[in-house]
Structure 1
């Protein structure tokens, strides 16, 4: 109440200051903000055209210029488009770290974008970055996020193709092949024969052909050649080079001349377009299929390419900083030139009659603000220290309660038994392991809870931790809905509530089988615990008292706790909270 009163006083004082200052005659300086929207639009049209015409260096320069002059709110669409294009350009250069670094800058803007294609492209770029860095778990995550968006059938098939590629690289060939077969045979491609769709259909065919090659399926070559026909028809030279590499790999253990022929075609195109991943693979196939002096020739080119990529990785940040400096310099010079053309009629503001009361009000306001800040900080520290002390005492009491008997037992055992004997040694180690397990559990109970995409995994691991030789726990429906849409506070509360219920049931019941079921009912989530214990009837009153804290936690998120009636078949408890 004291803080509230002080805040009211402070607000009143600042109101008086505002009124006092506004009543005094003054002149406001007029500063015109430079509007670069037209220039951003112009550069976007130029850069997009350069990108489509495979003029990647020029496009790269102009996209960076857009990032430096664009207003991230007013020009948000062009700003995010530039980030996405740069993400793809860095992938073509083999600069995966740079691609990831620049692409994640678009993520905060996605919630403001009406069209899902922006989020789709961002997720796809990150998926490409991670799959080429062999981080298959993250690649699968982002390709799946892209696939789950409300996008066109074409984009659905494109992202599904990438998911299949992840399975292939994880050596889950059966899953990958099933996905590629589904895409290749989809009726969508029979109805849509534009170059863009032909290229994507061809990519699925290449992936299917490569999968068949690993499975020694004779259809492999058919799909690789069919894909090349589609890419030639689509007039996409970069994709053609990719296809030539696939054919070179196919013939690498069958016909070295043909392998060399296709690798040379792939390298020629990739070298012209400066696409690092295709160039890198083509040189590897050329070395493998060459003889005599050609081996040394292609080996030197391969070494030179690797060295250039390593230099990019080492000096990439410095080069980016240098480019950024140049763009900022251009921006400042442009602003200065434009400023010279704009008439600045700055009206100097002066207060003619500064009253004593204005100074007094400002001084009192400042003193009141300082007092409130110090008061709140001091009170916050005091409450924080009290909470820390309370938690330390609770953990200390739990350690004493849980471990006191075990420590006494192990000390007594070590005094009365010869630990050199094998049987005694094993029993002694068993006691030590029991103490370790209990302390680990206490540590886990008080550890930080992950509330990101790893929450579901952490919750499952926590529940599994209560499984032992005497108790089996079945978890149902944990992944039947998206935990990412649930509020952070609610996730922490649910984690602690389930943990507390498991602790109490482990102590008060003698169940051998338990189940925890997660269900979504309209706009609520229901979590139900059941077991086959028979001991709970004796401890029902104790359990109700101990679960009072659980009930209080549930109420904080507007949830309810329901005790099931005890029967011979076991015990049941459930709680429900709104999403």
Structure 2
């Protein structure tokens, strides 16, 4: 089974925790415990160091691992460690938040936790991990119905793809984000989408489309600074298209609007360089003045641009001066870890350097190009794998749906054997008492009592559900005058179907090599047509290492839980997670049904049977349910 599919199962099984979490957050307003008071105090403190100390103290004061306040504390810790640039710490707490989201079943927390970890990875410039986490976050937000947050995460995912050189993938992510956010009036992320689309079109060589996307961003830009940056980019593309007049006119029209030195130098520097491209003379001193201003402002990004321009302007006229600027350009690009600028600078150095150094620069150029190519292939392969996993997930869901349809078809085909149901019902009744007699001779008193309860239940079901109906059918057949053939056939079909269900629930459990397949088949066939069953970790369990007694207990216990679900829960999603924890097998059951009060469940004989079975082999069983909040159970068995 692929990696994406089990994650979907896990999410589905945890879905019921989302609405509950919202209610718990509302309840925190009334809290007065020590952890909550410390957390409130931390939020009012201005000093970040003291704030983080109080947050750690509040986390230590939490008594219950299920307390949702811990999630809020972790979120604050991540944010403020990011603020003081301690990114390893923020990454640590993001990982804790992910673990907490999985433990509590809170999908919204899990989505935010992956986003927080992605931001921490971005600060560490680990763009491949940013891509992984933002992809996971947007999928989870989509699952919870939060399309706005999902769209924002897609924007950041697309930016990560762009930085990794996957321009086509970045473009696809931005377009998908635009579909999710186009009706949201998002003043921050919508301009970023259009700007990112323009950047990808520019990298892919479609300059006209790039201009159109910059204009789209310009229409919704909210600040003068953003508008000037977009207009500057449009002028740069006109420069690339060698439409120098239009480029110069645009630079000139916006220059007087720049109020900060960095923006002014960017526009002015581009204007001078464009004039040089047009006339090849007359502006070198002005470009040097821009370089000096950028040095004073410590504008390192802009300074790289100045070194690039001055190198290019002196390539033919003064190669020695060009070499000096190329060396500065190369040194600064390495400092800023800009691989694209490094390759540009190395191209100049290979052209200008003497033979001794030329070889060194050539080798470095090839190494960087190879690393860029490897990174781009890696990200494309990663996304290809993700898409493949998604396709496999959809395929498996369709296969489950087909299996359900086949089951219905099988039941319909068995209608011609409905007369067998009457004799089978009486045979089951006799067999139940016979099995009860045999088991009574060879088992302990507690086990006998449990089996007796089971057989009584079978007998009661046969009497209440089948015998009375059989008698009614016989009575109707004896009165041919009022006999309705179709009604009689439908009743017999119902009797036969219920007889088969009772038979299936009480057939012997085969504990040999085919046990896993039988267990999976039973769970699938116990799921009603309107519901979905999600299994996670099933294939990872070494079933052959379990003894026969444990297999029987697991089979019957899960069968009892599925019977209870069918009778009472009205669930539409059932999740069962299997996980080997040290030397124990942990099975977690969740459904999103109507639930019931704990006192009511404690009286249920079915759950008591489950607990008796599990305790008999040294395991533990506990469950949790509230009315209208679903049902969950946890089973631990030694392997």
Q: TM-score, normalised by structure 1?
A: 0.45
So what's the TM-score if we normalise by structure 2? 0.41
